[in-house]
A and B are shown apart, each in its own frame.
Chain A
Amino acid sequence: MELTDIIREENLVYKKSPLLTDNVMHYCPGCSHGVVHALIASVIEEMGIQEKTVGVSPVGCSVLAYNYLDIDWAEAAHGRAPAVATGISRLHPDRYVFTYQGDGDLASIGTAEVMHACNRGENIVIVFINNAIYGMTGGQMAPTTLVGQVTSTTPRGRDVKLNGFPLKITELLAQLDGTGFVTRQAVHTPAAIRKTKNALKKAFENTKKEKGTSFVEVVGTCSSGWKMTPAEANRWMVENMFPKYPLGDIKDI
């Protein structure tokens, strides 16, 4: 059998969303960012809201997200994406506005912006990629870095006396009256990927229903930063990250 006999319309089980550009992604093998990008692209495509969506990319590994999703984008300063999204959403109330942020961006330098955007109940979606490390700058400690986890700025492991505790910001945000939907997901298995996609879809649908801020955390891997193979990183995430950051909906009203 020839390859062309297999590659046929009727055999198609999956295809790249047309919203994903053909640009080669700069992400490392095993990185979660690319999978989440693909999910957001599919959700926007399925909802038919490409012309109505504006993304806000952060400072972090996903700073170049705008190269991969064929929608309008604003690139924000480090941590300020929720404020930028507020400006866009307030002046374009009929648009779907989302931020896409890492743990350093959202839970460290941008803590105030995310807290207050959620507390105001900005009608936006916040996608939070928690890989427990600063991927882009070469693997330094993040607010979500686990106790004992080795990073380039915690070479002997995170010590709570020195560095405090891993920040469960998602649980904090769920406490705020402005958030309508707060969930924590992952993308390490096909089943998890499907769940994350459903969560993202619900989040974007909530924008239409004006249900306040929707917050989707995705616990992800950073095999380069963690200095593991992609398979090891997935295992390490399941064994170490999930107990601290349990998956599931935290708030859904």
Chain B
Amino acid sequence: MAEIKLMKGNEVIAEAAIRCGCDGYFGYPITPQSEVMETLMLREPWKTTGMVVLQAESEIAAINMVYGAASCGKKSMTSSSSPGISLKQEGLTYLAGAELPCLVVDVVRGGPGLGTIQPAQSDYFQATKGGGHGDYHLLVLAPASVQEMNDFVALGFDLAFKYRNPVMILADGVIGQMMEKVQLSEPVPRWSREDIERISGDWALTGRQKGRERHISTSLELDSYKQEIFNHKLQAKYRLMEANDTRHEELSCEDADYLFVAYGSSARICQKAMQLCREQGIKVGLLRPITLYPFPKIPTRTLAERVKGILTVEMSAGQMVEDVRLAVNGLTPVEHFGRYGGVIPTPEEIVEALKKQFIGA
């Protein structure tokens, strides 16, 4: 029977991790996501599923513990918020370079610097454009509800292992802190030694067994021609992600004259703004990117051919708008509306922004 509960987004991340058979969580406290590790410590999954939970000395250590665990073919994860995610960038580029699967949850808060503990979407660039050094990408999922906080944990691990690539859940302080009804996933057991052998047997560090070559998790290649070949391989992987695992949602787009493009909690607010617009006779639709990398370029472009204007709504000074403009490539005007520094936009001001940009007062 489906288990339906009223829970906080952050708590759900912890619950979903245990239920999807996660092997290891390594974290460091930071608002607004500390409930993830707190929930895990209360639940003591090492006594039930055997999942390891460890409070690391820093975000740097936590992501490197993930690197070690991921090297073993284990489902491993960490979570943090913006300043902590900045510290994890070194580890993330090493994980991407060594082609290791893992899950990283970023419950974004406003910046720069120590900034604010209030929600923001100002780390879109960092999440989608690599974040650390080198030509690499994370696969980035953007939940817009507590339900998706649940669903994207298992999905995130699936995609991470499918592509041998780190996956990020890019949430924000609203999604992390708000309570909603959620249908929790059915628990699945952790992978056995045989499962790991079957799924990751050609690369996982399990101890060099007789009859196989030693396995090495490394991102080092001193020969630049070989490094270039490896970079080609990464790019080919990203094209595959783009072809097969780009996700988005369209709401009321069939008859729309105008389009909101928004992700995460901004998309939730846009739903209300859309309703207000339609009450005033303005037909607006919503395109919600679910994967921010790869970005849903084709649906964006297809809708751009039909609408008179696109307004991106972000809790940032305008980051995703660049990807929308690249996808639209001049087919229709693309404007940005943003509140930032921890301020959440109201539906009313979004409606006003749309009218001001495209319709005239």
Contacts and interface: CB of A to CB of B under 8 A. Distances in A.
Interface stretch (B37-45, B138-146, B215-223, B275-283): B215-223
B104 interface: no
Interface string B61-78: 110111111111010100
Interface stretch (B49-57, B116-124, B254-262): B49-57
B23 A74 contact: no
Given A83-B60, A91-B76, A70 B217 contact: no
Given A72-B208, A72-B214, A88-B68, A77 B220 contact: no
**Dominant secondary structure of chain A at its interface with chain B:** helix
A113 B68 contact: no
A84 B65 contact: yes
B208 A75 contact: no
Given A77-B91, A84-B67, A90 B217 contact: no
B214 A71 contact: yes
Given A66-B214, A75-B216, A112-B57, A85 B208 contact: no
A129 interface: no
Contacts, number: 131
A54 B68 CA distance: 10
Given A74-B68, A84-B71, A88-B205, A113 B61 contact: yes
A232 interface: no
Interface string A26-52: 000000000000000000000000111
A76 interface: yes
Which of B52, B61, B64, B71: most chain A CB closer than 10 A? B64
Contacts of B218: 57, 66, 73-75
B220 A54 contact: no
Contacts of A63: 220
Contacts of B219: 75
Interface residues of A, number: 34
Given A75-B220, A91-B24, A91-B74, A86 B68 contact: yes
Interface in A84-129: 84-92, 95, 112-113, 115-116
B205 A90 contact: no
A87 B94 CA distance: 15
B186 to A, nearest CB: 24
Nearest to B204: A72
Interface residues of B, number: 39
B74 to A, nearest CB: 5
B48 interface: no
Given A77-B90, A77-B94, A83-B56, A72 B206 contact: yes
A85 B217 CA distance: 12
Contacts of A53: 207-208
Contacts of A83: 56, 60-62, 64-65, 67-68
A54 B214 CA distance: 10
B195 to A, nearest CB: 14
B64 A77 contact: yes
Nearest to B213: A70
A56 interface: yes
Contacts of B205: 54, 72-74, 88
A193 to B, nearest CB: 25
A252 to B, nearest CB: 26
Contacts of A57: 218
Contacts of B94: 76-77
B208 A51 contact: yes
A80 interface: yes
B56 A90 contact: no
B207 A87 contact: no
A84 B216 contact: no
B183 interface: no
B241 interface: no
A51 B209 contact: yes
A113 B67 CA distance: 14
A189 B94 CA distance: 38
B206 to A, nearest CB: 7
B57 A70 contact: no
Interface of A: 50-54, 56-57, 63-64, 66, 70-77, 80, 83-92, 95, 112-113, 115-116
13 contacts: A72-B216, A73-B214, A73-B218, A74-B205, A75-B217, A77-B67, A77-B94, A83-B62, A83-B67, A88-B69, A91-B74, A112-B57, A113-B64
Given A76-B94, A80-B90, A87-B68, 20 more contacts: A50-B208, A54-B72, A57-B218, A70-B214, A71-B207, A72-B205, A72-B214, A73-B205, A77-B94, A83-B56, A83-B64, A86-B65, A86-B68, A87-B76, A88-B71, A89-B68, A91-B68, A112-B57, A116-B56, A116-B61
Interface of B: 23-24, 26, 52, 54, 56-58, 60-62, 64-72, 74, 76, 90-91, 94, 98, 205-210, 214-220
Q: Which 3 A-B pairs have the closest CB atoms?
A: A87-B68, A83-B64, A75-B218
